Each structure stands twice: as structure tokens, then as C-alpha cells.
A and B are shown apart, each in its own frame.
Chain A
């Protein structure tokens, strides 16, 4: 830890100014945040999260959805589903948000070099994976086949649609999208995201998989990946629990012997497989 980092108290939020607000979907938005007080470089690893504080309302954990190669701002994408995110939804450019972080473990993007990479995600689960996709694309030649499999509720709920289309058009990765519900106007696939795994162009014995989405989806996705021959140790999942302090002190996010905020949110599946089947956790 360098001297500057040692001086930063992880429990004290730093003020960040909203530089840009982008409405992604009817209930989902992206905030670009820049330091409010002085210009400083921002670094994080794909998969990590920040605690975002709307002053006077509350603080919540939100994954970082921006490009780790861009060091002057931090990007978060979230849905307006509760008090804090609804308050955020109403905020505008120039307003201030408190930021603590980044916290937690990362997707093993560098460790996956030399392997095929399969990204299975659904709904807003694409947001915490987008930094990993950016990092892979920045060093594309280091990987084998790269497959993104994305599921959404309806065609109108497809997150980062333009980017998915762009990635699909780059000819160096397989991007497959499916929705659960659609009308005849939709010309794409209809069905669960796990169905895409069976058709993915990857070598299961030389594949690292990143899975992020609702936990039910992740359970079935992991089952399908294992059925195809991907080893549990090569499957990584991002878990969500009630993170509060972000540094493993308060215990709110305890999952068996781990704290999701500190030991996660990204876990190798074989490290948490036994807990996936315990309903009380």
C-alpha cells in the first residue's frame, strides 16, 4: 500500500461530482462520476464495487461498469429499485455523491489469458462484467475464443444494446442475445440464457467462465457450463449480499465463512459451491 492509499480512510466517503447521466432503460441509468475536490487518478479492477452515498438518504454498494483503462472518472450503472437508487435517479449533472472504494475481488481477467473466455450474464448483470469485457478487448490477442451470452426479460430490456451490437460486429467475438418474452416483431432468440451455453463456440476444457446475474440464473448457468465440461474451478461468479462497510468489519454480508464485500463479490465457483445450495444463506 503506498503512502497516499494508507492515508485514505475506507470508511470516509470522498465527494464525487456527477459529470454525466445516461438513461439506459426505463428504470436503469449510468452515472459518470469525477472527483469533486481535486483531480486524481482513479483505478479499479473489473468486478469491484464502490459504496455510493446519497447524502441524507443512504449508502449502497454498486458495481463499477466503466472502462478500467480510463483513469479520470468512475462509471456506475444501476436500476432505480429502492430509496437510494430512486434518489440517485432524480439527481442531475453537477450534484455530489459520496464514494467509498473500490472494494472487493475482481474477475480474473489476466489469469484467463491463453484460454477461451465465456461470459454468461443476464439483466443488469452485464454492468459488472462490462469492465472485464473492455479489458479483454484491449488485449484481445491474448485470449482464445471470447463468447458473450446475454439474457434479458424483453427486447426493450437489453442493456448496453449498442455496445453488444458493436461487439458482435467486430468479428473477433461471439455475442449471443436471448430474451424471455417477445412478440413476433422481435427477430432474435427467445428462451433462457442457459440455452445459449450449449451452442457456444468454446473449448470447455480450456475455458474460463465469468457468470453474473440473478442468483437463480447463475445456478442454472453453472450447471450447464459444468455439463458442457467446464471445470468448477474455472467458473467465476459474482455474488450479491447486504454489503454495508465494504471492508469485512460489520458482518452484514457474511456468506458462510466469507464476507462478500471483502472475499468477494467475485468468487471461483468451487469456493462457494456448497453454499449455493443452502437456502438460508
Chain B
């Protein structure tokens, strides 16, 4: 119970959930749990069912793509405070990448099956959550575009 109360506060204080009313926060917190991953441990693997999303409390998780015969390619890292994973709201609800803790990481996970049911049943809550995820997705897209353009590449004299 103490742990649940801690989770409730963590969720309430996180910028992602800013502006959400108490009732909505309570519903969301009901689907949340604390998880711990050691360095090198996978949080999820490509192709597995996306049955959760995560909030990084402390640590660092690399989203990466495996390629045969070469080192994995890290697309980005999710660090303290980041919200990680939106495959749980996009059919067919499967992870597109691997997520590997690069050091000891403590995450809050949100059960997608539990949440999807609540969001379907309460369109206002669903809209509030989707609005927040659109912001995360837009930010990631902007960052991915900046990473693509070889910002620090050869300039001119």
C-alpha cells in the first residue's frame, strides 16, 4: 500500500500527467506498477506484445534494432523522466524495437490491457491520454528528424 501511495504521487507529479483530474489519475494509477531492470536486461523485445508503457524514474533504457552480424543500433535512449513506448495504443500492439536497460533502471509500468479498457470506456479520459501521447510522438519525430540530418557533418571553410 505504501508503494501504491508512492506510485500515485509519482504519477501525479510527472509532467506527462500534468493537468489531469484526480479521478483520471486514480484510474491510471490503478494500472501502474514499479519495475526494476538491471544493466543489460531487456524491458521488452521486438515483436513481443506491447502490453505496457513505461515511465523512467531513474536509469537509462536504449531503444535499439538488432542486425545480424553487427552490433545493435541504438535509436535513442530514454532517461530519467521519459515516457517510453506507444505501441500499446497502435494496432497490432507489438513492440517495434528492443528496449534494453544500459544501467540499473527503475521504471513505472502501466498495464495496457487494463488501460485500454478504461480509455475505451471513458472517451474523455482516452482523449486526455491520446493528447499527451501525441505530444510525446511529435517530439520524438522532431528529434529523429534532427538525428537524421547529420547536424554535425562536414561544414564548409
Query: How far, in Å, is A15 (CB) from chain B's closest CB?
Result: 22
CA distance A152 to B147 in the complex (A): 10
On chain B, the number of residues with a Cβ less than 8 Å from chain A's Cβ atoms is 29
Residues of A within 8 A of B157 (CB): 60, 81-85
Which residue on B lies nearest to A181, using beta carbons?
Answer: B147
Cα–Cα, bound, A74→B27 (Å): 63
Q: Are B74 and A81 in contact, CB atoms less than 8 angstroms apart? A: no
A151 within 8 A of B: yes
Count of chain A to chain B residue pairs whose CB atoms are closer than 8 Å in the complex: 89
Known: A187-B103, A195-B143. A151 touches B71 (CB 8 A): no
Is A10 positioned at the interface, with any CB of B under 8 Å from its CB? no
The reply to whether the CB of B149 lies closer than 8 angstroms to some CB of chain A is yes
In the complex, what residues of B have CB within 8 A of residue A124's CB?
152
Number of chain A residues whose Cβ lies closer than 8 Å to a Cβ of chain B: 38
In contact, A191 and B151 (Cβ under 8 angstroms): no
A-facing residues in B50-109 (Cβ within 8 Å): 60, 62, 64, 70-77, 79-81, 100, 102-103
B23 at the interface (CB under 8 A from A): no
Are A187 and B102 closer than 8 Å at their CB atoms? yes
CB distance from B61 to the nearest CB of A (A): 11
When A191-B143, A199-B80 are in contact, do A184 and B153 touch as well, CB less than 8 Å? no
Minimum CB–CB distance from B37 to chain A (whole Å) comes to 15
Contact with B along A155-191 (1 / 0, CB 8 A): 0010000000000000000000010111111111111
A93-133 CB mask vs B (1 if < 8 Å, else 0) is 00000000000000000000000000000111000000000
* Interface residue A34 (Cβ < 8 Å from any Cβ of B): no
Contacting pair B62 A184 (CB below 8 A):
yes
**Residue B146 at the chain A interface, CB threshold 8 Å:** yes
A79 and B75 alpha carbons, distance in the complex (Å): 27
Find out whether the CB atom of B147 lies under 8 angstroms from the CB atom of A220.
no
Q: Is the CB of A199 within 8 A of B81?
A: yes
State the CA gap A216–B100 with chains docked (Å).
31
Q: Which of B77, B149, B154 interacts with A81 by CB under 8 Å?
A: B154
- A-contacting residues, B134-152, CB 8 Å: 143, 146-147, 149-152
Residue of A nearest to B157 (CB): A82
- In the bound complex, residues from chain A placing their C-beta under 8 Å from that of B80 are 199
Given A190-B75, A190-B77, A192-B147, also A184-B154 (CB < 8 A): no
Residues of B with C-beta under 8 A to A192? 143, 146-147, 151
A81→B157 CA distance, assembly (Å): 6
A153 CA to B150 CA in the complex, in Å?
Answer: 7
For residue B68, give the distance in angstroms from its CB to the closest CB of chain A: 14
Residue of B nearest to A220 (CB): B146
Distance A192 CA – B75 CA, assembled complex (angstroms): 11
> A124's closest neighbor in chain B, by CB?
B152
Residue of A123, A157, A190 contacting most chain B CB atoms (<10 Å): A190
* Cβ-defined contact, B81 with A214, below 8 A: no
Q: Is the CB of A184 within 8 A of B74?
A: yes
Give B56 Cβ to nearest chain A Cβ, in Å.
11
Q: Please report which residues of chain A, range 188-212, place their CB below 8 angstroms from some CB of chain B when the two chains form the complex.
A: 188-192, 194-195, 198-199
User: Which residues of B pack against A, CB within 8 Å?
Assistant: 60, 62, 64, 70-77, 79-81, 100, 102-103, 143, 146-147, 149-157
Q: Besides A153-B152, A184-B100, 9 other CB < 8 A contacts?
A: A81-B155, A81-B156, A82-B157, A151-B152, A153-B151, A184-B62, A192-B146, A194-B143, A194-B146
